[in-house]
Structure 1
Amino acid sequence: MWFGQALSSTGNGVFTVALAASVLGAHRTADLGYVVAADGAGLVAVSLLGGVLADRFRRSRMMIGADALRFGATVGFGLGAAAAPLPLAVVLAALMGVGLGLFQPAYGALVPSVVPQEGLAGANALVSITNRFALVAGPAVGGLILTFAGPGPAFWLDAGSFGVSMLMLLGLGDARPERQAGGNVLTEAKAGLALVRERRWVLTIILQGTLQLLLVMSPALVLLPILLQERGLLAYYGLMTGLQAVGAILGGMLIASWKPRLPGAVAVSALALLGLQLVALALELPLFVLGAAMVATGAGYAVFGVLWYTALQKSIPEELRGRVMSVDMLGTFGLAPVGLALAPLALGAWGERRVLLAATVVLAASTIVPLLRRDVRTFDERGPGPVPLGHRPAEPVNAE
């Protein structure tokens, strides 16, 4: 499973480069925004449904179905859909988002079924390291293919990566989750939301992530290339993003071999390392200082991600795990486009210093306040415990 996902993640990086080049080569610059927005909209639209389905069907089969959907969309791009009328590219991009929205909850819920509990942190660290490596390698490979062969072969390579992923998943013998008899999609989605509300530490971290993504991480992501360009250093943008990926790899290696006594405190504090990047940008510190801050930011993201997903996988009842993963995904991605759109507007209205100062204040507050809760500091490592009242399966029902 790991190899298939590693190859697919690399293919996603290839796809991103090929999509941008093919759409820009046939349409207006603004049209690329519509295509990218369609991808995000597709993901958000099905995220809760993806969690419900991940708790109904065999999760490996859900992942295969999601990969098949993305395989078909990628083949469409490989056949030249980006050069066709724009609505076709928008629809295919939306299908890519739908596929991801169906895939991720099933994947997050499946890992504890195939990895022993004591190995979850190491497995999540390996996934984090692999994804960060793919984040660098995928676009690099995509760029080489574009240079020598054009976007078509890049799309076919990504399609092939989905094919390999599906073949790898066919061999998994995961069991079908048990679920409550007679439950409909809406009822089961509400059960996932209710569990998140009852596990206050889970709700707190999801709300913290939504707030930080909207008001801190999105401005940092958007303002980095803008401010580098203003300083005449845009040529170093690729290096900066690469250093963040290096930091994530180092962070994944660190947390793979370290089990902190207070995982929540370490995870939430690790996200605060982004403040170093905000300060370096606001004060126009030398490039090597900004580079070091990017490494620290990437390490913090990786440490948080590994500890957070490991805690969710250990503490959420197996029959509700997919739905909780989907709520987390919705909280993470739901308002991301809003933050990315508002950041340049805020820069024009208030100036870079004020925007970065405000982001730093929000980051500090959203780090300190959650840590006032003991269950957040510990990530409530008491195991899954009983399913909350009202959500316990009355009669196991297997769904094929």
Structure 2
Amino acid sequence: MPTTSSPPTCSPPAIPHPTTAPVPPGRGIHRRSAWPPAPTGHRPTPPPARSSSDEPDRPHRRPHRGARHRQPRGPARPRSRPGVRRRRAGHRPPPGAPHAMSAPTSPATAAAQKLSQHPRFLRVWASQSAGAVADQILPVAFALYAVQRGAGAGTIAVILAGRAIALVVCLLAGGILADRVSRPRILFTADLMRTAIVLGTLLALDDLPLAALGIVTALSGVAESLSRPAMRSLIPALLPAGLLERGNALMSAVQRSATLLGALAGAAIVTAIGIHAALGLAALLFATGALAVLGVRDVAAGDRPRTSVLADAAAGIATVRRRPWVAAVMAAVAVQLFAGTAPSLTLLPLIAADRLGGELAYGLVLAAAAAGALPAIALAGRWRPRRPGTVSMLALTTYAALPASLAFALPLPVTALCFALGGFVVEIYFISWLSALQREIPAEVLGKTLALDQLSAFALLPVGYALTGPAVAAFGIQPTLVAAAALTAAASAVTLLVPGVSTFSDPARAHAAGAPAGGADRSG
């Protein structure tokens, strides 16, 4: 039965390559053979198209990939395949042009994968960098100044506790404010407040008693309680979801680097020049941070609903209560700061002066903690463990190395190494935890939830400062630090018994997805 050619409008004729022999029906192109070019001025006649009855079960095979765009050498050229634009002789695409067969890349998609394409985030990052250095200079300078004037553990605890008390009292208010007011404006105001506080302290320092420095740290803590929730809730508004871990890691990296620099600078300046120079540098850095964030626009500032302050606080508390895994981690971190941080920071200046080498040793140990955080930031910014909660909470058990290293007469390098380990595990936990909250918590209550997270973390810290002195007087330094290390390790391990902690997500959602949820649904 003769075959009938299909109309050209329905099935375009297949044009064989000039160097390829005609293809028998039902056969693809497998090898090349000589085919003389057509005479000048004559267009080659295409072979008739195959009918569907020739070979209904075999799909049409495309020509060899290497021969797709090759042209004959004679003056006559066959017609191009439909839909393929023929390249002129000697014409090359401009540099950087996409390949003809490659899919176009959206500029917005490419930019979204680079932090350098988000200038508002970079300005906030620069502002927080300057403030982080100044934040670390203040406690180091005040603690060393108190030791120089003969203060004991009780006085140092009062000075350091002022900041913690202010954070406990004001963090929730800062979180509520972050969900109601432009967050860059909050950051600017907080840095401006701290600039004025430090300048006032610098002018009146010679007339202030040591206990009054606790008031200074408390006032600085009030400004910090405003900036912390605003900064952390602002990051999701400045970056796409795919860059949250990287943005949080970069923010933590610069803060830890600034902590390292601030601890060393504070100890060196107080030892070599005096506390007045250290306070002057801190005031200058706070002012620089305020100027860096000036003019940054919060795109979500006008879209947030207006509710009462009590309703905002209740919404944040209800958000945490609906997620037991969030409450469990908050409680564990509170115990860790109570048992691990408060005794270690209170007794470190005294132990450094007694057996580690003096004031510079104090700054070196604090700098080691910040230096240990840097490789953790690089790791946590790219590592995506299947169970981030398990990794984070098991890592936090080794935070007990801080009080344990001070409980025994370890040399300075070993003590610094233990503090570096503490900084490492804290960042492994913190970046995973913060990214999980930013994904799992609805945007309208994120600022309040982050404020509650900070509030719960610092809730027991003033109590730890207050109890360290009496505990040392009653039991001695070594028993107090050993008990603190044991409590620190146990607090993290126990949280893994709570459902959802192992994945840092709601267990029902993670089970439905078949893997730990990344937070695709952020319903309240």
Amino acid at match of 2:437: L
- Corresponding residue number in structure 2 for 1:108: 232
Residue correspondence of structure 1 range 20-59 to structure 2 within 5 A = 34-59=158-183
- Say which of 126, 134, 137 aligns to 1:11: 134
Aligned length: 385
1:121–1:310 Cα contact (<8 Å) kept: yes
Judged with a 3 Å threshold, the aligned counterparts in structure 2 of structure 1 residues 152 and 293 are, in CA distance, closer, same or farther, namely closer
- Corresponding residue number in structure 1 for 2:241: 117
Superposition TM-score, scaled by structure 2 size: 0.66
- Corresponding residue number in structure 1 for 2:499: 374
CA distance in 2, matches of 1:26, 1:332: 31
Judged with a 3 Å threshold, the aligned counterparts in structure 2 of structure 1 residues 279 and 5 are, in CA distance, closer, same or farther, namely closer
Residue correspondence of structure 1 range 55-74 to structure 2 within 5 A = 55-74=179-198
- Say which of 95, 99, 111 aligns to 2:219: 95
SS in 2 for 1:272: helix
CA distance in 2, matches of 1:152, 1:228: 23
Judged with a 3 Å threshold, the aligned counterparts in structure 2 of structure 1 residues 48 and 234 are, in CA distance, closer, same or farther, namely same
Shift of 1:53: 0.5
- Corresponding residue number in structure 1 for 2:443: 318
- Corresponding residue number in structure 2 for 1:350: 475
SS in 2 for 1:299: helix
Shift of 1:85: 5.1
CA distance in 2, matches of 1:339, 1:8: 26
- Say which of 204, 224, 232 aligns to 1:81: 204
Deviations 1:38-70 (CA, angstroms, capped at 9, x unpaired): 443333221111010000011111111212221
Shift of 1:97: 1.6
Residue correspondence of structure 1 range 281-292 to structure 2 within 5 A = 281=406, 284=409, 288-292=413-417
SS in 1 for 2:500: helix
Superposition TM-score, scaled by structure 1 size: 0.84
Amino acid at match of 2:470: L
Deviations 1:187-226 (CA, angstroms, capped at 9, x unpaired): 2112111111111111111111112221233334445555
1:26–1:83 Cα contact (<8 Å) kept: no
1:178–1:319 Cα contact (<8 Å) kept: no
1:22–1:82 Cα contact (<8 Å) kept: no
Q: Could you tell which deviates more after superposition, 324-333 or 84-93?
A: 84-93
2:140–2:363 Cα contact (<8 Å) kept: no
Q: Which is bigger in relative contact order (C-alpha 8 A, separation at least 6)?
A: 1
- Say which of 423, 426, 430 aligns to 1:305: 430
CA distance in 2, matches of 1:255, 1:275: 21
CA distance in 1, matches of 2:407, 2:149: 38
Amino acid at match of 2:135: N
Q: Could you tell which deviates more after superposition, 354-363 or 130-139?
A: 354-363
CA distance in 2, matches of 1:212, 1:53: 28
CA distance in 2, matches of 1:205, 1:324: 13
CA distance in 2, matches of 1:22, 1:280: 24
Judged with a 3 Å threshold, the aligned counterparts in structure 2 of structure 1 residues 27 and 91 are, in CA distance, closer, same or farther, namely farther
CA distance in 2, matches of 1:161, 1:258: 33
Structure 2: 5+ residue runs without aligned partners?
A: 1-123, 506-516
Structure 1: 5+ residue runs without aligned partners?
A: 389-400
